[in-house]
Structure formats: structure tokens, C-alpha cells
Copies of this chain bind each other. A is one copy, B any other.
Amino acid sequence: MKKTKLKIKESPLFWPAKMKSGVLHVLDETQIPRKIHYIKVRSAKDCVKVIHDMKTRAFGQFLVVLNAFLLELIKVKPIKKSDFKAKEKLLAKIQSIAQMLNKSRPTFPFSEVTEIIVRWAVMAIDSGLDVKQFVRKNTQGYLESVRYKRLDRVQRIADLIEDGDCILTHCNVSGELAMAAHLCKKNKKDIHFFATETRPYFQGAKLTCWELREMGANVTLIADNAIGSLMADRLVNKVIIGSDRSCANGDIANKIGSYQIACVAEAFHIPLYALTQPSDKIRNGKDIPIEIRKADELLRYEGYKIVRGDVDAFYPGFDIVPHELITKPIPISVGQDE
């Protein structure tokens, strides 16, 4: 693959978890835009916690999952080539980390990533290699390749955007959309973004608006309720969303609200582009398990209880956008999904 050299400032959301001297610094996305704070994570168990508590999300989770293994491998003492018992013990440890991570949130295909790590460990044992070094090097290389693939996609998103475009986005497309906006600006494309609030976590209001502005883009915040009105009034001409999971048939799972955006976009023949994941383990959207999150996340806001009494709330975290409603997927690497 061609390594894109991107001469733009990197968005903090593009790579929200960075290893520094054996400690993983995870951007606490729940504090943005009030505070840019990095949580110091030192173990796989802490990694599960930041994922479960939604301190990080989307691509950040992927980074945290991979780095969880690196954090634990740092603690492992060198193993002698002949010490098969120690090697098997390390494999068991890697397997148990994988299992713990897989269970942290249901909608994400964490197992597809953790399986790779486990496979490397098995491979190293079978080939008589240093398990610790082999898994570490491969994981670091894997992360690096993902980095270049994403930078390449930033360029492809920018190419898709035309001068004069008014783009609706939902939730937060970790770094890539904002960096594409920056590229467009450098290329003198005059574009405008509308960002949905994205209740209940306000990722659109808190992350996307902040990130787009940091990258010098024009952005207007709207309520999730306003997408129909916006499209009816022809105030947007493109929709670009991310995806949390992709299927073999092209269906995607994305933040709750994506499906209704796609429905209304279809009614108005507004093209919808989705940044897709490199996943084909699941046949179609119906088979993706949808995470039902705690009612309290809807009932409370910043500690204040919106609804009095014991009202029920139903909060599916994601919905499925069927492939028929996706005008064109933008896969992580060219060739995939196309």
C-alpha cells in the first residue's frame, strides 16, 4: 500500500490512545470539550474499564484492545527458549486477556482483533520463537499499518467532498472526517458541516463540533430531531457517517439514529457514505447483537434526573443501516468492500 504522507495537523480523536513509557494514555472523550484529559491505563483490566465506561469509543476501543496486550506483555519476564511451561502460561494469559476484552461491550467485534493476537502467540510457540517479542512486534506493526490505512482513507474522504458541499454527520467519525475537512480547506474547497447532537452521549455536540472547529472547518450543531427538516429544506447534499461494525452483505451497525438518517436521506435522494470496517465475519445486519445500555444513561444528564419516578427507558446503543441505504462504502483499505 502507498503510504500517504499527510501534511495536516492530526486530530486528537484520530489516535486517542498512545503508549508512553509503558503506560497507555487514553483520551477521556467524556470530558471533551471541557477538558483534554488522558487517563493513564496500566493493565488489561483497566483497559476493559475505560471501554465499558465509554471513556473511549469507536476507533479508540480498537486501540485500547490492542494496547491491552502490549501493557501486559511489558510485565512478562524474558522466557528461556526451553521453558515450555512458561510459554504455555503466557499463552493462557493472552487467551484470558482476549476473553476479558471480548466481553467488555457486545456490539463490537473485539474477538476478531483479539483472535489475531492469540494466533500470533500460538504461532510463536509452534515455531519456537520468543512469544513476548513476536507478539509485541507484530502488534506494533499491525497498529502502524492501520495508521497508514486510515491516513489514506482521510485522503479518499477529502477527494469525495466537493466545493460547496453541505455535509451532515452523526455521532463522531474519529478524526478522519475532521482531517479530511482540513485537507479540503487547504484545497480551497468551501464546505459546511451539520453535526447532530447525538443523544444521549452528545458525541456530536461534544466531540464532532469541537474536532471540526479545531481543524478549522465550519460546523453547525443541530438537534437529532432536525435532520428531516434539514433535508426537506435541502440544506444538506451529502451524509457521511462512520460505522461500528460491517457485514459481508454491506449492512453496517452504527450509533443509534443512523438508520433514520439513512431513511430520510433515501427519501430525498441525498447520497450517504459510510466509513466501513474490515469485517466480513457477520453475514448481515440482523445478526449483529445490539447493545442495550442502561436506562439511566437516558434518564440522567450530568447527574440531574430528567424524568421523575421510576420511568422505564429503552436505550439501544446502535442501529443497523441496511446496505441498500448506503450509496457508497468508504472502506479502511481500497479493495475491501468494493
B-binding residues in A (CB < 8 A): 33-34, 194, 197-200, 202, 205-206, 209-210, 213, 218-230, 232, 255-264, 267, 290, 295, 298-299, 301-302, 304, 306-309, 311-316, 319-320
Contacts and interface: CB of A to CB of B under 8 A. Distances in A.
A273 B311 CA distance: 25
Lowest 10 A-B CB distances belong to which pairs?
A: A225-B257, A228-B260, A33-B308, A228-B259, A229-B319, A221-B313, A220-B312, A225-B256, A224-B224, A199-B223
A328 B307 CA distance: 31
B301 A226 contact: no
A132 to B, nearest CB: 43
B225 A198 contact: yes
B33 A223 contact: no
Given A197-B298, A259-B232, A223 B308 contact: no
Nearest to A170: B225
Contacts of A257: 223-226, 228
Contacts of A298: 197, 221-223
A314 B228 contact: no
A224 B298 CA distance: 11
A315 B222 contact: yes
A307 B256 contact: no
Contacts of A206: 306-307
A306 B197 CA distance: 10
Nearest to A34: B308
Contact of A194 (B259, B260, B314): B314
17 contacts: A199-B224, A205-B299, A205-B306, A213-B309, A218-B312, A220-B312, A220-B314, A222-B298, A222-B315, A224-B257, A226-B314, A228-B262, A229-B316, A232-B259, A263-B264, A301-B301, A302-B302
Contacts of A225: 198-199, 224, 255-257, 260
B311 A209 contact: yes
A259 B229 contact: yes
Contact of A314 (B221, B258, B320): B221
A307 B199 contact: no
Nearest to A33: B308
B199 A319 contact: no
A319 B231 CA distance: 11
A210 B199 CA distance: 20
Contact of A33 (B213, B220, B304, B309): B309
Given A222-B315, A226-B319, A229-B259, 13 more contacts: A199-B199, A209-B307, A221-B311, A222-B314, A223-B298, A226-B257, A226-B315, A229-B260, A230-B314, A232-B319, A260-B263, A260-B264, A267-B267
A105 to B, nearest CB: 17
Contact of A223 (B200, B213, B218, B320): B200
A260 B227 CA distance: 7
A264 to B, nearest CB: 5
Contacts of A311: 209-210, 213, 219-221
